[in-house]
Amino acid sequence: MNNIKLQGLDADGSEKEYSLNDFKGQRIILYFYPKDNTSGCTQEACDFRDNINRLTNYATVIGVSPDSIKSHKSFKEKQSLNFILLSDPEHKLAEEFEVWKEKSMYGKKYMGIERSTFIIDKSGKIEKEWRKVKVKGHVDEVIEYFEQQ
């Protein structure tokens, strides 16, 4: 586990500081997404939201993006998100998980989040990872992984 501290919003929307060490002893679904309120990220967040009861049988869901707490609050309220969102504006956690990557759109290169999901086991080790995630069907893949355990 790492000790990086980030501001975040709890499942109920209250603001607090988190470190992944806070979750030692429980499994985590840690998913990185590029930007609040964009179509793919909204779809992914809503898929996690809609399946939260199935997922929390296995692990705590945590979403991470470089967006501000203010942006997260708006996103969380607008979409009724029922899990933790962490703000990583300096991409410390994203760099730790090697998901802060050079990307390209319309021929322009820029740095951004590579949509990725990690299952972290109770001891803090990465148990499973999905990189370059395609949103459609991804949450079903995560559930399927747990059901096959």
Catalytic positions, please? 41
How does 32-56 read in b/e, with b if 16+ C-beta sit within 10 Å?
bbbebeeeebbebbebbbeebeebe
- How far is Cα of residue 11 from the mean position of the Cα atoms in its chain? 13
User: Six-digit token pair at 139?
Assistant: 């949450």
The dihedral built from the CA positions of residue 115, 119, 124 and 126, taken in this order, carries a sign that is: negative
User: Six-digit token pair at 16?
Assistant: 């607090």
